[in-house]
Amino acid sequence: MNGPTLYSEEQLDYLKEVMNIGAGNASTALSQLMGRDVVIEMPRILEVSIAEAHSLFGGAEEPVVCAGMDLVGDVAGTLFFLAQDEEKNKIEAYVGKYLNGAMKKEARESAFEEVANIIAGVFLTAVHDYTGLHVYHTVPVVVRDAVEALFEEPISTVFTAAPKAVIAEIEFVSLPDGMRALLSMIPTPAALEKILGSMKGVRQGYGMGE
Amino acid sequence: MNGRNGKNGDGPVLRVHMGEGVVARGPHIILSPGIGSCVALALYDTDERLGGLAHVMLPETAVLAGRGAKRGDGDGAERRPLILSPFQYADTAIITLLEMLRALGAAEQRLMAKLAGGARMFPSYNGGSVGMGEQTAANVRSLLERKGIRLAGWDLGGTHGRTVEFHPGTGRMVVTAQGKEGREL
């Protein structure tokens, strides 16, 4: 990351905390759906300028499977649930197996979309419980394409209102096989302000106010 | 942007990412990978073996303001869009690219254009209204028309990402959609 950051370390830590709490609940849901342990890695908060934005994707042109959702309510933005082809197949196989073959072929094919729907719902409920903000998501739309192409519209939108885009990510890893999937949130600058604005209330609520 | 030597005797490859633009002479190759809703705008003058490519992110700011704050801000307030790069918005991208080309000797009356991108990556977004990518593409087209620059080829819209390879010396553009054969414009 180059150049001055827009947000203080405390603010970015708070965003990390919000992500962590949402992801904790989401990983429990994912674990139950797949019938295996799921751990989360430390949330990543990435703050990039226009010139740095492409570095997020490392020039990767390999397609990924992505369930894209809009955030609506108090917080506007985009929520992506992403996995490589192989990982997506694993998720669908685990979910199918766990449900003991009760799923028909069509249902198995939309399992990724269902998983994304559930994960996003649980994640945002936890974010609501923690921050007091009402955030919902639109129905996921699953596509398969280059990750850079997928992120262009939400990132372009952010840069109309702020010189830096903030992307908050959580990676889920299932055990013991190491299946990986990523939940990525791109709030609009106004939405990010609202999330960060909830910090004071949360801190005071926990007896941690100034 | 970074340069590396191309294969098969082609010139160095210049990569152009979101909000960037570059002008070069043949046999350079300009490569713009992972274009989604953005639009790759190429202008070229074959007599001069000179061309440029801009990776345009959004329509001109006036069009953008007309979209309202539906997806921009959560609070519905109308704000003046930030300008962070000359290639971020359609109008400034065209003006900047034209200036760069003219400075290197291109004649505006000889210039031709090719366009690729402007996809709607998530088909059901925006409740069926016009997507940002479609709007950027339409805006670039109308700005080119107003300037009297002929559009020699385009591959716009759809719901897939694209990688664009542009040969500024000849105006050749190869557009590759995910998992498909490249299409020459």
C-alpha R_g of chain A? 17
ipTM confidence score: 0.87
Q: Confirm or reject contact between A98 and chain B (CB < 8 A).
A: no
Q: Is the Cα dihedral A109, A115, A121, A123 positive or negative? A: negative
Q: Indicate which of B121, B124, B139 best probes the interface with A, i.e. most A CBs within 10 Å of its own CB.
A: B121
Is the CB of B125 less than 8 angstroms away from the CB of A147? Answer: no
Residue A183: strand pairing partners:
A81, A170
Q: Indicate which of A56, A141, A153 best probes the interface with B, i.e. most B CBs within 10 Å of its own CB.
A: A153
Is the CB of A152 less than 8 angstroms away from the CB of B88? Answer: no
**What is the CATH code for A9-201?**
3.40.1550.10
| DSSP state letter for A103 | S
Residues B155-171 as b or e (16 or more Cβ within 10 Å = b): bbebebbbbbbbbbbeb
* Cβ neighbours of A165 in B, within 8 Å: none
Q: Confirm or reject contact between A85 and chain B (CB < 8 A).
A: no
Is the CB of B121 less than 8 angstroms away from the CB of A74? Answer: no
Q: Which helix (H) or strand (E) holds A71?
A: strand A63-73
Domain positions in chain A: 9-201
Residue position matching structure tokens 């990351």: A1
Q: Confirm or reject contact between A148 and chain B (CB < 8 A).
A: yes
Report d(CA A179, CA A186) in Å as an integer. Answer: 23
Q: Are strands B29-35 and A63-73 parallel, antiparallel or unpaired?
A: unpaired
Residue A111, Cβ density class (10 Å: 0-12 exposed, 13-18 middle, ≥19 buried)? buried
Report d(CA A115, CA A69) in Å as an integer. Answer: 13
From first to last of its 210 residues, what are the pLDDT tens digits of chain A? Answer: 445 678 899 999 999 999 999 999 999 999 998 989 999 988 999 999 999 988 888 766 779 999 999 999 999 999 999 999 999 999 988 887 766 555 565 665 688 999 999 999 999 999 999 999 999 999 999 999 999 999 999 999 999 999 999 999 999 999 988 889 999 999 999 999 999 998 877 777 765 544
Query: pTM for this one?
Result: 0.89
| DSSP state letter for B22 | E
Q: Identity (one letter) of the amino acid at A196? A: L
Is the CB of B34 less than 8 angstroms away from the CB of A146? Answer: yes
Active-site residue set of B: 38
Q: Which residue of A has its CA nearest to B135?
A: A153
- Measure in Å the smallest separation between the Cα of A37 and chain B Cα atoms: 31
* Cβ neighbours of A151 in B, within 8 Å: 36
Please say whether the beta carbons of A102 and A122 come within 8 A: no
Q: B106-143 pLDDT, tens per residue?
A: 999 999 999 999 999 988 655 556 789 999 999 999 99
Sheet containing B29-35, strands listed edge to edge, beginning at the edge strand earlier in sequence: B3-5, B12-15, B29-35, B162-167, B172-177, B183-184
3-state secondary structure of B13: strand
Is the CB of B132 less than 8 angstroms away from the CB of A75? Answer: no
Q: If we measure between CA atoms, which residue out of B175, B120, B84, B71 comes closest to residue A150?
A: B120
Q: Identity (one letter) of the amino acid at B51? A: G
3-state secondary structure of B151: strand
Please say whether the beta carbons of B133 and B39 come within 8 A: yes
C-alpha R_g of chain B? 16
